[in-house]
């Protein structure tokens, strides 16, 4: 494995973790813009724009785009999150040039009015589908409640109302200010010759107009609230919790990740043994959210409505207990093994390294090998866990529950 990086004259960063033994190549165009970069009136524009990127360019129709990816058998997709929008393909190494040429073309989309109106219906259907499925939008609701006025309060999908009112002109304006080369990183892992990659990046992306990297700073004060939303048609009861955790640039994030694993890994965790293994709940999980300026502990529970209050008390007892008493050496060791085994197993292919590579580079301006990451987990001590729990306790989350219950009594 070898790491390479350069920046083109228009500001586009190009990075690669090259592995001559790999049989495939993963390619990602990562744009540092997402829901947090939207004003409330254009909420959802980043995700909608991600769809529009596949709708054609001056050189290509939407059908051409589809056909060309298909011709070389690539696995390709795109996704939008709170802080980024990324486009990726997993390919055979010999298709690198075609892939770079194709992505670089479609990342300068036409954004035609008629395509915009057609795709708007698809987005609205996606929003309705999302509202139809558990937890029926309660996750967005919880996030908004927790983050209050902070930009992270916004929804990635947007709402029916913002999407309906959005104009193609607003999207073109958003595109122009946010899809600049200075906000974009081309990342590649697997079998790749970096000199060739830079040549291709220059050939196909050098004409992208430079732009600035707007500040994403924001101040916030998170909330601790409890709300019950009624969804009479639901059979199960769902519950979400969020509280503040170390952020993506905070080295304490490894300890925080271990804490959520000990508490709420999908098997073998404290909540697993007391809620799932006993049959009290169908699902319970905890995980860490990482953002530019903060992190979140997240919890998700689904169970039958009559079990909710009992399960919630159990969860509260567990969260208070770990805040007070920390974790044991044995639990710490087990969680490290779980996390490290999974990281090694999932890093085996180039596609398993690409997102870690690009996120370390964009969020933290550093290259970290798989070994570095494993080492950071291995070094976390019982004392550090206790310190993190003191600075970022688990036991005062914002909670939202949704389902057939109209009222929930909190112990």
Per-residue string for binding with a second copy, 230-269, x by CB under 8 A? -------------------------------------xx-
Q: Which is nearer to a second copy, 174 or 254 (CB)?
A: 254
Dihedral sign (CA 132, 139, 403, 261) = positive
Element (H, E) at 197: helix 194-205
- 374 versus 386: smaller Cβ distance to a second copy: 374
φ and ψ at residue 17, rounded to 5 degrees:
-115, 105
Where does this chain touch a second copy (CB under 8 A) — which range of 143-151, 215-223, 340-348, 385-393? 340-348
Residue whose pair of structure tokens reads 């019982």 in the numeric block:
382
At CA 378, angle to CA 375 and CA 380, rounded to 5?
115
Query: Does the footprint of a second copy cover residue 348 (CB under 8 A)?
Result: yes
Closest CB 173 distance from a second copy, rounded Å: 29
* Structural tokens at position 380: 């976390």
DSSP 61: B
Asked if 337 touches a second copy (CB under 8 A), the answer is yes
**Mask for 72-111, x = binds a second copy (CB under 8 A):** xxxx--------------xxx-------------------
Q: Should residue 374 be labelled a site residue for a second copy when binding is judged by CB under 8 A? A: no
Toward a second copy, which CB reaches closer, 276 or 358?
276
**Cβ 354 to a second copy shortest distance, Å:** 14
306 vs 348, beta carbon nearer a second copy: 348
Q: Select the residue interacting with a second copy from 277, 306, 375, 409 (CB under 8 A).
A: 277
User: Which residue in the block uniquely carries the two structure tokens 């290259």?
Assistant: 367
Q: Is 21 in the site for a second copy (CB under 8 A)?
A: yes
Residue 349: closest CA among 187, 191, 214, 180:
191
* Interatomic CA distance for residues 92 and 100, integer angstroms: 13
22 belongs to the binding site for a second copy (CB under 8 A): yes
What DSSP element (H or E) covers 204?
helix 194-205
Q: Binding of a second copy at residue 51 (CB under 8 A)?
A: no
Annotated catalytic residue within 50, 83, 331, 359: 50
Could you tell me if 242 and 397 are in contact, meaning their C-beta atoms sit under 8 angstroms apart?
yes
**Burial class of residue 271 (count of CB atoms within 10 Å of its CB; 0-12, 13-18, 19+):** buried
Residue 133 as a binder of a second copy (CB under 8 A): the answer is no
Q: Pick the binder of a second copy from 342, 364, 371, 378 (CB under 8 A).
A: 342
Q: How many residues bind a second copy (CB under 8 A)?
A: 32
Residues 297-336 that bind a second copy (CB under 8 A): 334
Q: Is the dihedral of CA 226, 229, 235, 240 positive or negative?
A: negative
What is the distance between the alpha carbons of residues 322 and 243, in angstroms, rounded to a whole number?
15
Q: Where does residue 140 rank: exposed (0-12), middle (13-18), buried (19+ CB within 10 A)?
A: buried
93: its two tokens: 């190494």
Query: Is 217 tagged catalytic?
Result: no
Between 191 and 252, whose beta carbon lies closer to a second copy?
Answer: 191
Residue of 71, 309, 100, 72 lying closest to 186 (CA atoms) = 100
Stretch that binds a second copy, among 18-26, 42-50, 140-148, 402-410 (CB under 8 A): 18-26
Query: In the set 144, 218, 344, 408, which binds a second copy (CB under 8 A)?
Result: 344
Query: Under the rule (CB under 8 A), what is the footprint of a second copy?
Result: 21-24, 63, 66-67, 69-75, 90-92, 267-268, 277, 334, 337-342, 344-345, 347-349
Query: Active-site positions?
Result: 50
């Amino acid at each position: 494995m070898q790491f390479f990086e350069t920046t083109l004259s228009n500001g586009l960063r190009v990075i690669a973790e090259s592995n001559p033994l790999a049989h495939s190549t993963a390619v990602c165009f990562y744009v540092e813009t997402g829901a947090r970069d939207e004003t409330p009136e254009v909420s959802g524009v980043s995700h909608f724009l991600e769809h529009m990127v596949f709708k054609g360019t001056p050189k290509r129709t939407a059908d051409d785009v589809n056909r060309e990816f298909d011709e070389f058998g690539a696995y390709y997709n795109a996704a939008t999150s709170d802080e980024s929008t990324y486009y990726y393909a997993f390919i055979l190494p010999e298709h690198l040039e075609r892939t770079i040429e194709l992505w670089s073309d479609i990342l300068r989309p036409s954004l035609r009015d008629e395509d915009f109106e057609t795709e708007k219906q698809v987005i609205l259907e996606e929003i309705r589908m999302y509202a139809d499925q558990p937890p029926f939008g309660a996750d967005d609701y919880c996030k908004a409640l927790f983050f209050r006025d902070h930009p992270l309060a916004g929804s990635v999908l947007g709402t029916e109302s913002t999407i309906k009112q959005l104009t193609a002109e607003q999207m073109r304006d958003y595109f122009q200010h946010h899809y600049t080369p200075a906000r974009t990183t081309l990342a590649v892992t697997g079998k790749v010759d970096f000199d060739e990659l830079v040549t291709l990046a220059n050939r196909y992306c050098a004409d992208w107009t430079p732009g600035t990297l707007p500040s994403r700073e924001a101040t916030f004060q998170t909330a601790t609230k409890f709300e019950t939303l009624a969804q009479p048609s639901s059979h199960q009861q769902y519950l979400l919790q969020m509280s503040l955790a170390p952020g993506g640039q905070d080295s304490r994030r490894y300890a925080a990740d271990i804490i959520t694993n000990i508490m709420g890994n999908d098997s073998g965790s404290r909540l697993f043994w007391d809620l799932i293994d006993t049959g009290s709940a169908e699902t319970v999980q905890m995980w860490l959210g990482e953002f530019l300026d903060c992190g979140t502990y997240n919890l998700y529970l689904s169970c039958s409505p009559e079990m909710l209050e009992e399960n919630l008390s159990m969860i509260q007892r567990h969260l208070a207990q770990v805040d007070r008493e920390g974790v044991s050496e044995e639990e710490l060791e087990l969680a490290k093994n779980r996390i490290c085994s999974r990281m090694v197993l999932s890093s085996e292919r180039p596609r398993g390294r690409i997102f870690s590579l690009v996120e370390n580079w964009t969020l933290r301006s550093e290259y970290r090998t798989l070994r570095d990451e494993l080492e950071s987990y291995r070094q976390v001590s019982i004392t550090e866990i206790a310190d993190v729990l003191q600075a970022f306790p688990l036991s005062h989350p914002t909670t939202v529950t949704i389902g057939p219950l109209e009222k929930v009594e909190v112990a």
